[in-house]
C-alpha cells in the first residue's frame, strides 16, 4: 500500500488537558487511519498509486470524490499533528510575528479572526492560516478540502490549520466548539509554523 499512517510526533496524552488522550487515540488511530485505508483502496490499481499526497491534493478538481476526501483527510491530519506540540502555545516571534501584525493588526486580532473562521464553518471542515502571494490570509474549507487544492475558494500555502470536525473535540468539549478553539492555542507549535512560513515565502 503506498500510503501509511505515521505515528504521532508525541504521546497520545501529551496535549492534555487541552486535547484529551481519548480524542487523540481515536482521532489519530481510527479517523486518520481510516482516511489512509480508504485512500489506498480508492487508488488501488490506478496511476495515482505512484503520486505523492501533495500531487493528489493539488489536483483535487480532477480526481474522484473518494480520493479528494480521503487524500485531503490524510494530508490535513498529518499537517495538523505536526502543527501541535506539548509545552507549546504562547506567541510567535520574528518574521512571522511581524507578518501577523501587518496582516491582522495584532496577534489577538489574528486569533479572533481565525477562531471566527473555525466557528462559522458550518458542519465539518477546517480553518487555515495561509500564505498567498507572500502575504498571510485566513480561510476555511469544508470537509477535508484545504488551500492547496485547485478547488479551494482561497488558494495558497497553509502554515497552520485547525480541524473543526466534531470528532476533533466532541468527547471533551461536546457542542462547545468555541472552547475547543480557545484551548487549541495552548498547543500550537509556533516554531513549526514559523518554519513553514519561511519555506512558503
Q: Could you list the residues that contact Mn ion (CB under 5 A)?
A: 163, 165, 168
> Minimum distance from CB of 35 to Mn ion (Å)?
8
- Please say which residue, 145 or 163, places its beta carbon nearer to Mn ion: 163
- Please say which residue, 40 or 78, places its beta carbon nearer to Mn ion: 78
Copy the grid coordinates of residue 49.
Answer: 498509486
Taking alpha carbons only, the member of 11, 127, 144, 123 closest to residue 77 is 144
> Minimum distance from CB of 163 to Mn ion (Å)?
4
> Minimum distance from CB of 28 to Mn ion (Å)?
9
- Please say which residue, 104 or 165, places its beta carbon nearer to Mn ion: 165
- Please say which residue, 43 or 168, places its beta carbon nearer to Mn ion: 168
> Minimum distance from CB of 32 to Mn ion (Å)?
7
Comparing every residue's Cβ against Mn ion, the nearest one is 163
Amino acid at each position: 500500500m503506498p500510503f501509511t499512517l505515521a505515528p504521532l510526533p508525541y504521546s497520545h496524552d501529551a496535549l492534555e488537558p487541552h486535547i484529551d488522550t481519548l480524542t487523540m487515540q481515536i482521532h489519530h488511530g481510527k479517523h486518520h487511519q481510516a482516511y489512509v485505508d480508504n485512500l489506498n483502496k480508492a487508488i488501488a490499481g490506478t496511476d495515482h498509486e505512484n503520486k505523492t499526497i501533495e500531487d493528489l491534493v493539488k489536483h483535487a478538481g480532477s480526481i474522484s470524490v473518494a480520493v479528494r476526501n480521503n487524500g485531503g483527510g490524510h494530508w490535513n491530519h498529518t499537517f495538523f499533528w505536526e502543527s501541535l506540540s506539548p509545552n507549546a502555545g504562547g506567541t510567535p516571534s520574528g518574521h512571522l510575528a511581524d507578518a501577523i501584525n501587518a496582516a491582522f493588526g495584532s496577534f489577538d486580532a489574528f486569533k479572533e479572526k481565525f477562531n471566527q473562521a473555525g466557528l462559522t464553518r458550518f458542519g465539518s471542515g477546517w480553518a487555515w492560516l495561509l500564505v498567498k502571494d507572500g502575504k498571510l490570509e485566513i480561510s476555511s474549507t469544508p470537509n477535508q478540502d484545504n488551500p492547496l487544492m485547485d478547488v479551494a475558494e482561497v488558494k495558497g500555502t497553509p502554515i497552520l490549520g485547525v480541524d473543526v470536525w466534531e470528532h476533533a473535540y466532541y468527547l471533551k468539549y461536546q457542542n462547545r466548539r468555541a472552547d475547543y478553539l480557545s484551548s487549541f492555542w495552548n498547543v500550537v507549535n509556533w516554531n513549526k509554523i514559523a518554519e513553514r512560513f519561511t519555506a512558503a515565502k
